[in-house]
Amino acid sequence: MAARIGALEAGGTKMVLAVGSEDGSIEEQVSMPTVEPDRVVPEMADWFREKGVDAIGIGAFGPTGVNPKSPDYGHILFTPKLAWQGYDFLGKMREGCDVPMGYDTDVNVACLGEATFGCARGLDSVVYITIGTGIGAGVMIGGELVHGMLHPEAGHILLNVSPDDPGKSVCPSHNRCFEGLAAGPSIEARWGAKAVDLQGRDDVWELESDYIAQALENYVVCYSPQKIILGGGVMHQEQLFPLIREKFARYLNNYLRTPELEDLDSYIVPNSLDEKQGILGCIELGRRALAAS
Ligand SMILES: [Zn+2]
């Protein structure tokens, strides 16, 4: 019988739970608000136990411990959501549902979803960036999701502020980081409206695409991905893509020459899985945990 894999996409505002198979088919999906962990975590563990899953893959909001050898593995670390700070998320899930579990960041699992089931299938080095209420990047190199000291927080790379920028960074830690300059709240603070209501404003997207292109140039020279995927609410503004590609090429300035870079329309692309990249990445993470058990 095919294994039943549980998938948990743990976001800062909502939890998405699903049961599916390793081929990426989803049988059932529900969501719950991200209330205090003592309430929602046992409820989620019960849900998975009742579904009879064989393994679970969890993609968690961060920063969070992703190194299995570290004492903080599976813990949520510093977060403004105080009830979650230091919380042993993975340990409490295991208490309620004792099956093999894979655990990674929400952006890493989205990257894994695209690399397993989506537009990056068959590639082993991929960067997935989400631009929404925050900015995060999931990074796969050589088929493995990148961790390290903690995990990449590539939404906080420092960028050059455009002289045309009428606003400023909204990141409490950095006055010129990517997230502070280009995430949804920054757009709203700068222009007084949400991205979705600024569609026809060329100056908004010129500036936004400049920041995104700067970030992509940095990721390409550091991580050397075979494809870059852009998701998140801000990237629903499809007019951004040609602007990003054009500015990215200008910033890279022919420094690298590869077949991928010859075809930027296929290299810098929107997410391909109809917003299911995160939950499908969790399925693959759970499949890997089961295979390793
Ligand atoms: Zn920052």
pTM over 0.85: yes
Tell me what pLDDT residue 88 has.
98
Report the pLDDT value the prediction gives residue 79, as an integer from 0 to 100. Answer: 85
Single out the residue of 200, 162, 196 nearest to residue 181, CA to CA: 162
Ligand 1 center to 131 CA (angstroms): 13
Distance in angstroms (rounded) separating the CA atoms of residues 127 and 110: 10
Cis check for the bond before 71: say yes or no (omega within 30 of 0): no
User: Length of the chain, please?
Assistant: 293
**Sheet with 26-33: strands ordered across:** 26-33, 14-20, 5-10, 55-60, 101-105
8 A C-beta contact, residue 30 and residue 47: yes
| Ordered per-residue pLDDT tens for the chain, 293 residues | 789 999 999 998 999 999 999 999 999 999 999 999 999 999 999 999 999 999 999 999 989 999 999 999 999 998 888 999 999 999 999 999 999 999 999 999 999 999 999 999 999 999 999 999 999 999 999 999 999 999 999 999 999 999 999 999 999 999 999 999 999 999 999 999 999 999 999 999 999 999 999 999 999 999 999 999 999 999 999 999 999 999 999 999 999 999 999 999 999 999 999 999 999 999 999 999 999 99
Say what the pLDDT of residue 53 is. 98
Q: Which residues of 230-244 are buried (b: 16+ CB within 10 A; e: fewer)?
A: bbbebbebeebbebb
Ligand 1 centre distance from Cα of residue 258 (Å) = 31
With CA atoms as reference, report the closest residue to 139 among 129, 151, 127: 127
Q: How far is CA 113 from CA 24, 77, 145, 273, in A?
A: 9, 24, 11, 8
The pLDDT of residue 89: 98
Q: Is 123 exposed, middle or buried (0-12, 13-18, 19+ CB in 10 A)?
A: middle
For residue 157, the CA-to-ligand 1 centroid distance in Å is: 7
Please name the helix (run of DSSP H) or strand (run of DSSP E) that holds residue 218, with its range, or none.
Answer: helix 202-223
Please, how many CA atoms are within 13 Å of residue 246, restricted to the half-sphere of its CB? 10
What was the pLDDT predicted at 1? 72
pLDDT of 252 reads: 98
**Residue 207 CA, ligand 1 centroid: distance in Å:** 18
Ligand 1 midpoint to CA 241 (Å): 23
* Residue 195: HSE in the Cβ half-sphere, 13 Å Cα cutoff: 23
Sign of torsion, CA 197 203 206 208? negative
Rounded to whole angstroms, the Cα distance separating 113 from 140 reads 11
C-alpha 171 to ligand 1 mean position (Å): 5
Mean pLDDT of the chain: 97
Ordered by where they begin, the domains of the chain are 5-106+275-292 (3.30.420.40), 119-270 (3.30.420.40)
**Cα of 262 from ligand 1 centre, angstroms:** 32
* 12 CA to centre of ligand 1 in angstroms: 17
Helix (H) or strand (E) segment spanning residue 188: helix 184-191
**Res 98: pLDDT:** 97
The shares of helix, strand and coil residues in the chain, as percent rounded to the nearest 5, are 40, 20, 40
And the tokens for 122? 């068959």
- The tokens for 13 are 């505002």
CA of 39 to the centre of ligand 1 (A): 31
